[in-house]
Amino acid sequence: MGKSPDNYAIENLLNDVEKLLSGIGDVDEIDEMLAEKVDDKTIELRQEDMEGLERSLGLKIDGHTEIRVSKDDMLVTADFIPPSNGGEPVELEYVEELLASQEIKYGINWDAVKEAVLKCNEEMVQVTGIIVARGKKPVDEIQEHLVIEENLMEEKPGIEPENLRVDYKELSSFVMVKKGDVLAKLIPKKEGVLGSTVRGEAITYKKAEIRKVKPLKNVIREGDSVVAGCDGIFKYDSPNFWVNEVLVIQKDVDYRTGHIKFPGDIVIYGEIMDGFKVNCRGTLFCKKTLDASEVVCKDDLVVDRGIIGRKKGTVKAGGRIRACEKITWNFSYQLMEQWCNSIEAKYRVFLD
């Protein structure tokens, strides 16, 4: 028995409905897939749009709070939105529950929260970007160590005598110290302190990296200080520091060194240039020429290549003066002019 035209029409209608419903099902699946890929910012914008729509329609909206936790769990910020059209205000208990639901328990600034809630409810304005909780960074452990006095480590000014008013002869590139001067201070050990995230999770501390220094010769430990054991020149060659009783100058005494005044022995491998003064309380040994502007030493003066006198030059020694290895005379002579008794005999000795 065949179907009537009406039955065919009904059957076709049912098939069309099934296809339509099937299509709608596919659309729902697509929406679900898209919804999973929508970022948080888009969701916030949609929520704001919905709130704006609700307000425009005159719907009742309660006050509420939105919180954001940083990725490292060290900072929590919040926005406080006021009620509208007779909605309930933001309650402090509600904010407490909201923070508790996110397990925020450390570093909460309740004063900031209360102030934001009060302003939001009384002035009916949004209060945004309020820091409501902050974590604590750990404090590194510091081991006991010595720190050299800053004035001993300061760099000396560069020597640029041209067009300068400063008399660089009066400046010295050496750091002179006296017996008992403090060279370094002992910094006691400082225990580390654990940090914490806003969720109360402990953050371990580390051991701080410090520049260690080690005292060597002619230094003495006195309580929490390290002092010079004698007069001399302070020397530092990481990580060691010491006091050298013998001042060794590898180059000339000139604008790079300035005048030299040293409490011990001095060894100069270069020349003492004209116009520069050298004063030592020990023996002075000069490998090259000495321009006798003003040279004073408490003990012997030894000059390999002779002494050149000047009109106002002065050379004084508490011991013997020896030039060109073979010429020796007593310091008490007021005036002496003599040729060096050497093979080349070209160095002149003249004392004023």
Per-range mean pLDDT, top range of 109-113, 284-288, 298-302, 329-333:
109-113
Return the pLDDT at 119: 96
Residues 9-58: pLDDT tens digits? 566 666 665 665 565 555 455 445 444 444 455 545 555 555 555 555 55
* 133 neighbors 108 (Cβ within 8 angstroms): yes
> Residue 181 and residue 233: Cα distance in Å, rounded?
11
Does residue 334 carry a pLDDT above 50? no
At 168, the pLDDT band (50, 70, 90 cuts) reads: low
Give φ, ψ of 280 to 5 degrees.
-140, 155
> Residue 262 and residue 240: Cα distance in Å, rounded?
22
Find the DSSP H helices in the chain.
Answer: 5-37, 40-56, 92-101, 110-123, 150-153
* The token pair that represents 136 in the structure block: 């604590």
* 252 neighbors 233 (Cβ within 8 angstroms): no
Return the pLDDT at 322: 80
Least confidently predicted of 17-21, 77-81, 344-348: 344-348
At 239, the pLDDT band (50, 70, 90 cuts) reads: very high
Does residue 338 carry a pLDDT above 80? no
Return the pLDDT at 136: 96
Region 103-108: mean pLDDT is 96
Nearest one of 215, 71, 70 to 133, comparing CA atoms:
70
H/E segment holding residue 246: strand 246-249
Which is more confidently placed, 147 or 319?
Answer: 147
Between strands 301-303 and 284-286, the pairing is parallel
The full set of domain ranges for the chain reads: 40-134, 145-154+167-237, 247-351
* 273 neighbors 291 (Cβ within 8 angstroms): yes
Which is more confidently placed, 352 or 180?
Answer: 180
pTM reported for the whole predicted model? 0.55
Q: SS3 breakdown of the chain: % helix, strand, coil, rounded to 5?
A: 25, 35, 45
The DSSP result for 86-115, as a single string, is TPPPPPHHHHHHHHHHTT--SSB-HHHHHH
> Residue 160 and residue 133: Cα distance in Å, rounded?
56
At 336, the pLDDT band (50, 70, 90 cuts) reads: very low
* 282 neighbors 230 (Cβ within 8 angstroms): no
> Residue 56 and residue 280: Cα distance in Å, rounded?
94
Return the pLDDT at 194: 97
